[in-house]
Amino acid sequence: MRVLVLSKTGDGLGIAHRIALEGHEVDVWIQDPRYKRAGVGLVGRPPSWRPLVAKADLVICDTVGFGHYEATLRRIGKQPLACNLVVEQAELNRAKGMELFEKVGIPTPPTRSFSSPRDATSAWSDKGVVVKPSGNISTAKTTVARDRASFLWALESLPSNTPVIVQELVEGIEVSTEGWWNGRSWIRPWNHTFEEKRFLNGGIGPNTGCMGNVVVVAKTKDRLVQETVGRLEPFLKRTSYRGPVDVNAIVNKDKVWALEITARFGYDAIEALAEGLDEPLTDVLFETAMGVKKEMRIDSRPMIAVRVSVPPYPHADPKEEDAGRPLLGVNKFTLKHIFLTDVYLEGGQYKWAAGDGVVYKATAIGEDFREARRRVYRTISNVTIQDMQYRTDIGKRVDPEMGKEFDTLREWGWLN
């Protein structure tokens, strides 16, 4: 099979490489020139994607922002995966996302929308707020402000023409619920993700978007599925979208509040999910895009992913001369449990490509949360690079003997 991945900053390189390891011909076009080395030697890195479309059996968009190409791709007989203008706008335009939740009956925190940061200065609440800019902007610009001074600073740090929403801060357990949509109906089963977005242990430091997560399969259509992503079904039926759909939410004993929708691969949840598949990843992606997938064959045990990076990530972009640092311990055994991202292969040696600093994601599955954690950190100890950095507490907040958040959600009746 020939697979073409359209990318902005190489987010899907790990998935593309896994498809290649499953025996397929894979090309990844990356828009950002900083990533000129990333993936070289692992997958095809064409200078242009258009000449390759006609021969591609599967076209994947690894992030939002490509939705305007869907109509063109469909006209030439291609059904792209995770590519739809209507659905992606619900993520990129925060206000539209909140309107969608309201229409389908998913509660949201008290939210106000503004056309610019300057217009939002009156939106402060003594309960604290979250400032979220619209557009495909770094998650580092999403700010939780518990005092007015931090709130005003967050607004001042945004470009003056950026639309924003300001949400009142709500307390509870943060969890994402994902379903895969085949164009007509849900692909069973659904799954829940417990993600750590901050750079340092304990949830402190810069917001990177993801430093690791735990994914748990929803064995049935539980209450959390029903009251979040499940309610999007009427909306999705009116679109041509095919691919994963995720609702990130805050949950307490009595209520769920939707925070945002994601209609694309969720990093690093997609890598964790792939760890538990009992069928080739390529088959899942292809059959979803073709609209014939009805059930995903996947293990019901906890899955985990941990992001491994090198400095200056996440504080700054690396310099071009930083490229070439060797990544050691990559072999046919460890490749089953790692997803290489900002990496290239030269002369049989895996090296850092210095595109951003996210070198790989380690994954594992275990009988319980503790075993999954033990296995993933064992892999990290075997696949090393100088100055490697990663969180050592991924999965702790759902462990029954530590954070207990998974058991708490079950006690509240949200999970089965």
pLDDT tens track for 63-107: 999 999 999 999 999 999 999 999 999 998 988 999 999 999 999
* Average pLDDT of the chain to the nearest whole number: 95
What is the distance of C-alpha 403 from the center of its chain? 23
Main-chain dihedrals φ then ψ at residue 277, nearest 5 degrees: -65, 135
Place of tokens 């790989």: 360
CATH match of 110-168 with 3.40.50.300: no
- 27 near 45, Cβ under 8 Å? yes
In whole angstroms, what is the distance from residue 98 CA to residue 91 CA? 9
Give the type of residue at 260: E
**Tens-digit pLDDT profile for residues 303-335:** 999 999 999 999 999 999 999 999 999 999 999
Looking at the chain, which residues constitute the CATH 3.30.470.20 domain(s)? 173-410
51 pLDDT more than 90: yes
Identify the pLDDT of residue 141.
Answer: 77
Nearest in space to 63 (alpha carbons), one of 82, 47, 49, 78: 82
In whole angstroms, what is the distance from residue 330 CA to residue 384 CA? 9
Nearest in space to 406 (alpha carbons), one of 295, 323, 301, 332: 301
Identify the pLDDT of residue 142.
Answer: 85
For residue 377, what are its two tokens? 């950190």
In whole angstroms, what is the distance from residue 338 CA to residue 173 CA? 28
2-89 CATH: 3.40.50.720
**Tens-digit pLDDT profile for residues 160-208:** 999 999 999 999 999 999 999 999 999 999 999 999 999 999 999 999 9
CATH superfamily of 173-410: ATP-grasp fold, B domain (3.30.470.20)
**Tens-digit pLDDT profile for residues 127-155:** 999 999 987 666 667 889 999 999 999 99
In whole angstroms, what is the distance from residue 1 CA to residue 24 CA? 5
pTM of the model: 0.94
Cis peptide before 314 (omega within 30 of 0): yes
CA dihedral sign of residues 247, 252, 254, 257: negative
Looking at the chain, which residues constitute the CATH 3.40.50.720 domain(s)? 2-89
In whole angstroms, what is the distance from residue 26 CA to residue 184 CA? 27
In whole angstroms, what is the distance from residue 381 CA to residue 82 CA? 34
Give the pLDDT mean for 47-56: 96
Identify the pLDDT of residue 137.
Answer: 66
Main-chain dihedrals φ then ψ at residue 88, nearest 5 degrees: -65, -25
SS3 per-residue string spanning the chain: CEEEEEECCCCCHHHHHHHHHCCCEEEEEECCHHHCCCCECCEECCCCCHHHHCCCCEEEECCCCCHHHHHHHHHCCCCCECCCHHHHHHHHCHHHHHHHHHHHCCCCCCEEEECCCHHHHHHCCCCCEEEEECCCCCHHHCEEECCHHHHHHHHHCCCCCCCEEEEECCCCEEEEEEEEECCCCEEEEEEEEEEEEEEECCCEEEEEEEEEEEEEEECCCCHHHHHCHHHHHHHHHCCCCCEEEEEEEEECCCCEEEEEEECCCCCCHHHHHHHCECCCHHHHHHHHHHCCCCECCECCCCEEEEEEECCCCCCCCCCHHHCCCEEECCCCCHHHHEEECCEEEECCEEEECCCCCEEEEEEEECCCHHHHHHHHHHHHHHCEECCCECCCCCCHHHCCCCCCHHHHHHHCCCCC
Identify the pLDDT of residue 138.
Answer: 61
In whole angstroms, what is the distance from residue 224 CA to residue 208 CA? 26
pLDDT band at 337 (very low <50, low <70, confident <90, very high): very high
Identify the pLDDT of residue 203.
Answer: 95
